[in-house]
Amino acid sequence: MRYIVDDIDDTVDFYTRHLGFEVVMKPGPGFAMLRRGGLRLLVNTPAGGGGAGQRMPSGELPRPGGWNRFQVQLEDLDAVVAALREEGVTFRGALIEGRGGRQALAEDPSGNLVELFEAYTP
């Protein structure tokens, strides 16, 4: 999974402090590789070096945001959301209830989404 982000240091801090990721590598100011279990998250800044941050032939730079996301499954969504809100983490919308469980959409420092999910237990 790759996200385009505004600031590598802010992003690394967010994912390691709040969501339990570890830093695999951070070789320069425009790139880092993080891991949580089997998920590898690559983060790049626009024009920060490497292929993912380069301009498109049209001149457009990659940018953060959108609605794509990955899911982190939790046991107590309410407690995690409350703790993240106390730390100043922004959420997009309210808690959502569906057939399989409940979710909240946390925004990383660049506005990329992380779906926090609690499955219903029978």
Q: What is the pTM of this model?
A: 0.88
3-class DSSP assignment, residue 81:
helix
Q: CATH top-level class for 2-119?
A: alpha beta
Which pLDDT score is estimated for 61?
Answer: 83
Give CA–CA dist 91/93, Å, rounded. 6
**Which tens digits make up the pLDDT trace of 39-61?**
999 999 997 766 778 888 898 88
- φ/ψ of residue 78, rounded to 5: -60, -45
Identify the pLDDT of residue 95: 93
pLDDT tens digits, one per residue of 60-81:
888 898 889 999 999 999 999 9
